[in-house]
Amino acid sequence: MNSFAALLRPNVCLLSAIGIVVGFLVLGSFGIMIIPAVISAFIITGAGNVINDVFDIGIDKINQPKRPLPAGLVSKKAAVYYFLVLNTVGLVIAIFISMPFFMIALLNSIVLFAYSWKFKSLPLLGNIFVSWLAASTFLAAALVFNNFTTIPVSIILLSVISFLGTMSREIFKSIEDMKGDGTQGAKTLPIIVGESRARIAALAFLWVGVFSLFVPVFKNFFSMFYFIGMVPAILLCFFATFYSVKGKWRKSQKLVKYAMFFVMLGYILGSVF
């Protein structure tokens, strides 16, 4: 059972759940509907992680040999059935929340499968898929109560910032994984354009995201408590930039991840207080 739990990658699933919670807090609509929304997001994300590991057995034998599938702790057939059950349960829960929420959950299920099956190895497109999935959790929270035309501007902006930050982080991770990806014939961005140009692309996405953090300030979306998250996020992005120049890709991508947590903190504090 521990191996099946590990296949879910609970830490990644938790990020999706946190995105739903943050969206509710920013909306000021923290209620009972958060429970099924969080569960659905957690399960669908877990299903996506499972099918990703199914398609990535070869690469993971090099990059992540201790994961359940490359380590032989779970069979490929069992993992496929596990994926189908998880995905079905997640979508069934979503349909009882609201039709817009179900539609984005279904879209994300398709994106997760398509990413793992075909698009992960394509330059930039795979990164775009992952970044959309990260950004869409905030939109999903808004779609519990709204339709696609009435999503609040603050949620849209948070989704854009999340997309840009995740794009940067994913490119840093692609640079870090060049060796393993190259042996499997993957055509990731750094393999196609080279390490140096990929770093420039990662930093471009990162700093467009940083400048986007100033939009709520100029538009007076939030209270001054927003700065409690905004300032550390910007500082972390400076450090991520510094470490990328040094070629420390793992450090850079982790700092970008921490920066995103501070961005969410700023949005929460600026909305609630």
Structure confidence by residue, pLDDT tens digits, 221-268: 899 999 999 999 999 999 999 999 888 988 999 999 999 999 999 999
* Residue 184 pLDDT level (bands cut at 50, 70, 90): low
User: What is the per-residue pLDDT for 187?
Assistant: 75
User: What is the per-residue pLDDT for 231?
Assistant: 97
Site of tokens 């420390």: 248
Residue 191 has pLDDT above 90, yes or no: no
CATH of span 152-273: 1.20.120.1780
According to DSSP, residue 70 is labeled: T
* Residue 72 pLDDT level (bands cut at 50, 70, 90): confident
Q: Break the chain into its structural domains and give their ranges.
A: 1-146, 152-273
What does pTM read for this prediction?
A: 0.87
Cα angle: 255, vertex 256, 259; to 5 degrees: 90
Instruction: Identify the CATH class of 1-146.
Output: mainly alpha
The string of pLDDT tens digits covering residues 153-164 is 999 999 999 999
- Please give the Cα distance from 236 to 231 (Å, whole number): 9
Q: In this predicted structure, which of 57-66, 77-86, 133-142, 191-200 has the lowest mean pLDDT?
A: 57-66
